[in-house]
Structure 1
Amino acid sequence: MSMFKDQTVWVTGASSGIGEALSLALARQGARLILSGRKVAELERVATACGGGNRHTILPFDTTDYPALPGIVADAWDRAGGIDVLVNNAGVSQRSLALETSLDVYRTLLEVDLYAPIALSQLVLPRMVARGGGRFITIASVAGKIGAPMRSGYSAAKHGLYGYFDAIRAETAAQGIKVHMVAPGSVKTNVSRNALTANGSTRGTSDEAIEHGMPVAQAVRQMLDGIARGKRDILVAQGRERLAVTMRRFWPEKAFDLIADAVAKGYAQNMRVNR
Structure 2
Amino acid sequence: MNETFKNKVAWVIGASSGIGEEIARQVNSLGGFVILSARNVAKLESVKSTFNYPDNVYIIPLDLENQTNFESKVQEAKAFRGSIDFVFNNGGLSQRGEVHETDIAIDRRIMEINYFGNIALAKAVLPVFRAQKSGHFIVMSSIAGKFGFYLRSAYAASKHALQGFYESLLLEEAKNNIFVTLAYPGKINTEISKSALNAQGNAHGVMDHNQETGMPVEKCVQILLKAVRKRKKSILIGNKEIWAVYIKRFSPRLFWRIIKNQSAT
Q: For 1:186-225, what aligned pairs fall within 5 Å after superposition?
A: 186-225=187-226
* Offset at residue 4 of structure 1 (A): 0.6
Task: Find the counterpart in structure 2 of residue 50 from structure 1.
Answer: 51
Q: Is it true that 1:141 corresponds to 2:116 in the alignment?
A: no
* Secondary structure of residue in 2 paired with 1:182: strand
Contact 2:144 2:155 in 1 (8 A): yes
Check whether the contact 2:103–2:200 (CA below 8 A) recurs between aligned residues. Answer: yes
Secondary structure of 2:95 counterpart = coil
> Does residue 1:74 correspond to 2:81, yes or no?
no
| Match status 1:179 vs 2:186 | no
Q: How far did residue 252 of structure 1 move?
A: 2.1
Give the structure 1 partner of residue 110 of structure 2.
109
- Which structure has more strand as a fraction of its residues? 2
**Structure-1 separation of matches of 2:94 and 2:70:** 23
Aligned to 2:39: 38
- Of the structure 1 ranges 30-39 and 43-52, higher mean CA displacement relative to structure 2 is found in 43-52
Q: CA deviation at 1:163?
A: 0.5
Shift of 1:18: 0.3
Shift of 1:189: 0.6
SS, match of residue 220 in structure 1: helix
Partner Cα distance (1:80, 1:152) in 2 = 40
Q: Deviations over 1:51-85 (max 9, x none)?
A: 32432101112122111111111211122212111
1:95 maps to: 96
Q: How far apart are the structure 2 equivalents of 1:79 and 1:215?
A: 31
Determine what percentage of the aligned residue pairs are the same residue: 36
CA RMSD of aligned residues (A): 1.3
- Contact 2:29–2:53 under 8 Å retained in 1: no
Alignment of 1:242 with 2:233, yes or no, is no
Q: Deviations along 1:195-229, whole A, 9 cap, x unmatched?
A: 10001000101211111000100111111112222
Distance 2:119 2:252 in 1: 29
Q: Secondary structure at the match of 1:50?
A: coil
Alpha-carbon distance in 2 for matches of 1:31, 1:214: 25
Instruction: Give the secondary structure class of the aligned counterpart of 1:173.
Output: helix
Unaligned runs of 5+ in 1: none
Letter in 2 for 1:25: Q
Task: State the TM-score, normalizing by the size of structure 1.
Answer: 0.93
Counterpart code for 2:5: F
Secondary structure in 2 aligned to 1:73?
A: helix
The alpha carbon displacement at 1:187 in A equals 0.5
In the aligned structure 2, how far is the partner of 1:170 from the partner of 1:53? 36
Q: What does residue 226 of structure 1 align with?
A: 227
Q: Deviations over 1:29-70 (max 9, x none)?
A: 111001000111110111122232432101112122111111
Deviation above 4 Å: which 4+ runs of structure 1? none
Residue 258 of structure 1: how far off its partner (Å): 2.6
Offset from partner CA, 1:67-112 (integer Å, 9 cap, x none): 1111111211122212111110001100111111111110111011
Partners of 1:150 and 1:245 in 2: CA distance: 18
State the number of aligned residues: 264
Distance 1:53 1:149, change over 3 A: closer
Secondary structure of the structure 2 residue equivalent to 1:192: helix
AA partner of residue 6 (structure 2): K
Which amino acid is 1:55 matched to? N
Partner SS, residue 203 of structure 1: coil
SS at match of 2:194: coil
